[in-house]
Each structure stands twice: as C-alpha cells, then as structure tokens.
Amino acid sequence: MPPSPDDVARQIAELEATLALPNLPDVARRPLEEELARLRTGLPEQPTRSHDQQVGGNATVGAAVAGDVRGDMTLFTGEARGNYIAEVIHLYQQAPAAPQADYDAALRRYLKHLYTTHAAIDLRGIDQRQMDMPLREVYISLTVREVAAAEGVLRGGVRAFMEKVRQVIGREDAPLEAHVQAVEWTTILRQPRLAVIGLPGSGKTTLLHYTAVRLCEVLARDDRACLDELGLAEVTQQHPPVPLLLPLRELGAFLGESRGRELAGANAKLLFDCLHNYYRDLDLPPDFFQRICAAGRAIFLLDGLDEVPHTDDRIFVSAIMRSLVTRYPDCRYVLTSRPKAYEGDARLGQGFRECTVDDLSAAQQQRFITNWSRSLHRLKGGCRSLCRRTA
C-alpha cells in the first residue's frame, strides 16, 4: 500500500529539516537530496538490493539499500538445506558422539547465534539512542599492510632505535611502513594464518565480525558469490570453513578460573573447553568444535590478545594457539591484537603472517558516512512504516 499524502509530506519535512543542518557533510547530503527528489516527484521506493561499490583501488563494499527496518536479518528460511551446510553435516555424521540429528540442529543454532549477534552494529548518535544498523550496509573494506618477515622483528625498542640511527646518520630512507604493500582484507584473508595488529578503534574486531557473518551467509544460503567476495573460494576449493569466533578475554578469564591449568599444559583442549563454556547456552554436542577442526573445516577468529590482561597469561594463550596449530594444521587462523601485547614470547611464529590495519583514507571515510546516512534514513523510514502497520 503506497504512503498517504500526509505521510509523504511528513517525510519531506523531516528530510528538509535534516538538510538544513549547518554542518551536514556533502557526502551525507547527496543521498538525502536524492531521496527528497524521489518523494517530491512521486517515484516508487526502490526495493532492497545488494550492489558493489569501489573504495580506493579494488576494494569492494557491499551495501543494501531500502527494504525493511533492519534489512534481511533472517539466516535460515524453512528447512531447505544447501550443499555447503550438507557437507558440514556429513562431516559430523562420521562416527559422532551424539545422535546425528543433534549436529544438524546444533550447527543451525550456532550459525544463527553468530549471525544474529554480529550482523548488526550499534551506532549511537549524540542522543545515545540505540541504533542497530545491518553491518553489511555500513561496512567498508579496510586496507591492511603485511609486515615483511625481516621488518616484523623490528618491534618496540629495537624498532625505535633503528629509526633514531637513521635520523642521526642522515639517511633519507623511507620509514619501514613505506616498504610494505597495502592490500585489501579479502586479499590477505587468503593466507591460512594471520595476526592482525592494530591500534584501538582501527577496525580489527569489525573485520572478524564481518568475516563471521558473511561465512554464516555462505553456509546457510549456498552463497558462492559471497565466498568469492571474501577471497576464500579458491583457497578453500569451494569448501567454506565454519567460523569459530572467540573474544580472547573470555579465554583469559576462563584460564584464571580453571584449576590445574599448569598441570594440563598449554594444549588445545583448554581452548575447546573455553569455546564450549562461551557458547554453553546453545547446548552443543560435546565434540562439536573438535570434529569440525579434525576435518580441517574451521577458521578460528580470535579477537583481542591484548584483552588478556597479564603478560604471562598472553604468553600462555599464544602457547595454546601454537599447540592448536600443530594439532590442526589444515584449519585457518586469524588473531587480532594491539601492538604492545604482541611482543616477545606472545608472538606466534609458526607461519603466521603479520599485518597492520591502515587508517581510513579520505575516500573510505566518505564512503562510511554515505553508507551510514543511507542506512539511518532507511531505518527511520522503516520504523515509521512499522509503527503505522502496528498502530
């Protein structure tokens, strides 16, 4: 049912008031002006659609426009099961420790939980009202720089010392950062083992959440195009991994509460025990995580080594990681940390490629503002429509 003339007039008035704000950025103004023109000319509202936009070089940004109040937040529809998720269920059915049906339902519960928890982000405005926006609408692809092996060892005091030596002897060499190549996240994600190092607020956690959400979509919807967009189609031979997302602060707290961890040693079982504890409300089978790892079909997304508070504990967590990699070499691993926490014995080695997250470029900042403005306007329109339907 089309909106009434009063509804259209009210939307036009709201848009005009927003556009009258003195400090509204031009990049945010343009999509609002387009919507205002559409309303004034009586054009129909555009249906939800996904499209790719370019951000700095070959970066791909997925955006959803118009549609319902929060976008498509439904992961599973009906009981249909695609090839990807059927493959994973088949792996679970090889000598399982629980009835076969448990794994099907458990995998769906787990993927749905990941998706509903992380598919939207809370972008609060000045008034601090909660505004959940679909991550896919506002996400922009970040640029990372892989640190070459020879440069990766120059950290902390040694790195600073080398820079001072360059200044004293008057060499005009570019700083170390200039010698590393900038690539998109979807390019570096093809590496099987990654340590993503960045300052607070650089987007490390968002990278992991976005990766987990898109992999949930791949598995639940047989979305081969999405797997390719992530850069994982070729390296996984079209067998998408199951994302195992864990904030490492949870592992640090779990280790602090666990008795006899020194007797157990830094082994992979501690991490699996923590995963089961973290997702305990999902009632997963006892070997839910181990079986998918044994098949080499997991990607560990381990967020925030720096949030493990004590140096000794961070070293112990890294030792657990090394044990995990040794036991499950065919799985994929991504760990994030602030720079100061990823030093000395806390560094992983074992073939982990290190990369740093670049600051947003001017083009990326503008794209984010545009995505945010579009999503905000769509959400407001959706909320008004929802209120009318439920009135």
User: Residue 257 belongs to a domain with what CATH number?
Assistant: 3.40.50
308, 348: one domain: yes
Domain-embedded: residue 56: yes
167, 312: one domain: yes
Distance CA(34)–CA(8), nearest Å, equals 15
244, 339: one domain: yes
Q: What is the pLDDT of residue 266?
A: 82
Distance CA(381)–CA(11), nearest Å, equals 8
Per-residue pLDDT reduced to its tens digit, 77-90: 655 467 787 788 77
Distance CA(326)–CA(352), nearest Å, equals 12
Domain-embedded: residue 247: yes
Q: With pLDDT > 70 as the criterion, what percentage of the chain qualifies? A: 57
Domain-embedded: residue 156: yes
Q: What is the pLDDT of residue 59?
A: 31
13, 149: one domain: no
Per-residue pLDDT reduced to its tens digit, 137-154: 666 677 778 876 544 444
Domain-embedded: residue 325: yes
For the chain, the domain total comes to: 2
334, 230: one domain: yes
6-15, 59-68, 364-373: range with lowest mean pLDDT: 59-68
Contact 349, 319 (CB under 8 A): no
Per-residue pLDDT reduced to its tens digit, 306-322: 999 899 999 999 999 99
290, 232: one domain: yes
Q: What is the average pLDDT score of the chain? A: 73
Provide the token pair at 238: 């079209």
User: Rg for the chain (alpha carbons), in Å?
Assistant: 24
Distance CA(339)–CA(352), nearest Å, equals 15
60, 192: one domain: no
386, 312: one domain: no
Domain-embedded: residue 120: no
145, 21: one domain: no
Contact 19, 29 (CB under 8 A): yes
182, 314: one domain: yes
**What is the residue range of 313's domain?**
138-359
When pLDDT is cut at 50, 70 and 90, the band that residue 44 belongs to is very low
For residue 130, is pLDDT > 70? Answer: no
When pLDDT is cut at 50, 70 and 90, the band that residue 270 belongs to is very high
Q: Give pTM, 2 decimals.
A: 0.69
